[in-house]
Amino acid sequence: MRRIQKCATLSFNGKKNGHHGVPATLIPGDGVGPEVIGAAVTVIAASGVRIEWDEQLAGASALKRTGSPVPPALLTSLKRTRIALKGPLETRVGEGYRSINVHLRKTFNLFANLRPTHSFEGVNTRFTGVDLIVVRENTEDLYAGIEHQVTPGVVESIKIITARASTRIARFAFEFARINQRKSVTAIHKANIMKLSDGLFLKCARRMATAYKDIEYNEQIVDAACMRLVTDPASFDVLLLENLYGDIVSDLCAGLVGGLGMVPGANYGDRGAIFEAVHGTAPDIAGKNIANPVAAILSSALLVEYLGHLKAATQIRTAVNDVLRAGRIRTPDLGGKSTTDEVTGAVVKAIKRSA
């Protein structure tokens, strides 16, 4: 697997690692969240990285205990630590907030969502050689949530695209590509229909491409890109997308490599980051100790990398790859019979072996 190396725009310039480790907020979340986040915390500890976790409630569990899905203590903790490992949150409980995830991303200006998606040896899918980086703009587009009813039976939802946010995410994608020796960036759009909004997004991407002549720049219309992703995914490298297309395409990409339980995610801002798996609360399997912890564990690798622990990040990824390649221990979503705890235990063992 190609490593996501430390990137200047992705590194943490916060407090130094003290005696008890770097302070970070831990949000177990809802549904399978506590199970997979527990796995990630165990794996980070096994890698030797010391983190002083400040555990906070959010989502349905917070609503039940505190009366709010986004309690003030959570926001205070995030403002202090500026880094979090987060489980999925049940958002429909968040009355007053359209989505708690969107609220957190906007409050902390986490403008870039990164989802590294690659094939795993030993995990059978229809595709091999997938090695994609999805870079999704996180703060605007239809997710700005500006909707109103014009008249009964007619509603309007406004798509906001700004040059500022489009330029910022394009710079992030190209910078990431350069630092990680990726070959190309493909901007994905529907500018043939949304000439002004997606046109602006493209204009900003094109302008940024001129400053990164070492990186090949391509454009593709979103519907054609989806078809190519399921016929020839290995032909893509870094994908640059607006918020809504990014949301949809990243789940599609997860499907190429074994499903939602496999793909990590990170939301980066200039002054902080939240790391989380791509999947949701998976209520159908919550509490059964069968959720696949790989996505959360790989998200924790992105977190330790962000803190500058490159060796530990590589160790975690290698351990996950080794366990999957061996093929004996895997959760039911991958056709296995193992529990979340058994997968976690196997990853910890593999880390210890490599230490």
Interface residues with ligand ATP (CB under 6 A) are 32, 36, 88, 90, 260-261, 279-285, 291-292, 295, 333
For ligand ATP, the closer CB: 32 or 229: 32
Q: In the complex, what is the shortest distance from the CB of residue 100 to ligand ATP, in angstroms, rounded to a whole number?
A: 11
Q: How far is CA 91 from the centre of its chain?
A: 17
**Beta strand 216-221 with 238-241: parallel, antiparallel or unpaired?**
unpaired
Which DSSP string corresponds to 238-267?
Answer: EEEE-HHHHHHHHHHHHHHTT-GGG---EE
Q: How many CB atoms lie within 10 A of CB 286?
A: 17
Q: CB 16: neighbour CB atoms within 10 A?
A: 5
Q: Which is nearer to ligand ATP, 14 or 261 (CB)?
A: 261
Q: Which is nearer to ligand ATP, 22 or 39 (CB)?
A: 39
Q: Which residue is nearest to ligand ATP (CB)?
A: 280
Rounded Cα distance, 134 and 327, in Å: 27
Contact 306, 314 (CB under 8 A): no
Residues in the chain: 355
Shortest Å distance, C-beta 280 to ligand ATP: 2
| Minimum CB distance to ligand ATP smaller for 39 or for 205 | 39
Q: How far is the CB of 279 from ligand ATP (least distance, A)?
A: 3
CB of 39 to ligand ATP, least distance (A): 10
Residue 338 beta carbon to ligand ATP: minimum distance, rounded to whole angstroms: 12
Identify which of residues 198 and 333 has a Cβ nearer to ligand ATP in the complex: 333
Contacts of 216 (CB under 8 A, 6+ apart): 183, 184, 185
